[in-house]
Amino acid sequence: MAAGQTDTLLDAAAITDTHHVLDVGCGTGQTTRSAARRGHALGVDLSEPMLERARRSAAAEGLGNAEFAQGDARLHPFPSGGRVSPVRPAGRSACSPRETPVRGRAGPPWAGP
């Protein structure tokens, strides 16, 4: 996603330093790092080489509040409670055709009320 589009998405989601952002299918972590500049961010992806690049980039930028985890987001053991703001633009999902990608919904099922 282009930097301008990422900023527009994060602005629309009103991400602040009190938010925890979940970036599903984060790849090399561009969106995760952008979110971490505003709040805490977790990027999840299947590809360990991409996650390593994301970790190096976050470290180079001094973003200690950006985390990256390898795994299938459908099975990842997300913490219960609190609020999570997932960000992933429509059309950029690795979900199968029968699954619905998370599209910027605040308070997904695993985050509680």
Q: What is the pLDDT of residue 111?
A: 40
- The mean pLDDT of 14-39, rounded to a whole number, is 90
- Structure confidence by residue, pLDDT tens digits, 41-82: 999 999 999 999 999 999 999 999 999 999 887 776 766 665
The mean pLDDT of the chain is 75
Q: What is the pLDDT of residue 20?
A: 86
Which residues have CB under 8 Å from 112's CB, separation 6+? 80, 81, 82
Residue 21, SS3 per DSSP:
strand
pLDDT(108) > 70? no
Closest to 83 (Cα-Cα) out of 14, 3, 32, 12: 14
pTM of the predicted model as reported, rounded to 2 decimal places? 0.69
Residue 105, SS3 per DSSP:
coil
Q: Kindly state the tokens that stand for 90.
A: 């429509």
Cα gap 25→70, rounded to integer Å: 10
- Helix H segments across the chain? 3-12, 30-36, 48-60
pLDDT(91) > 70? no
Q: What is the pLDDT of residue 64?
A: 94
Q: What is the pLDDT of residue 61?
A: 97
Q: What is the pLDDT of residue 47?
A: 95
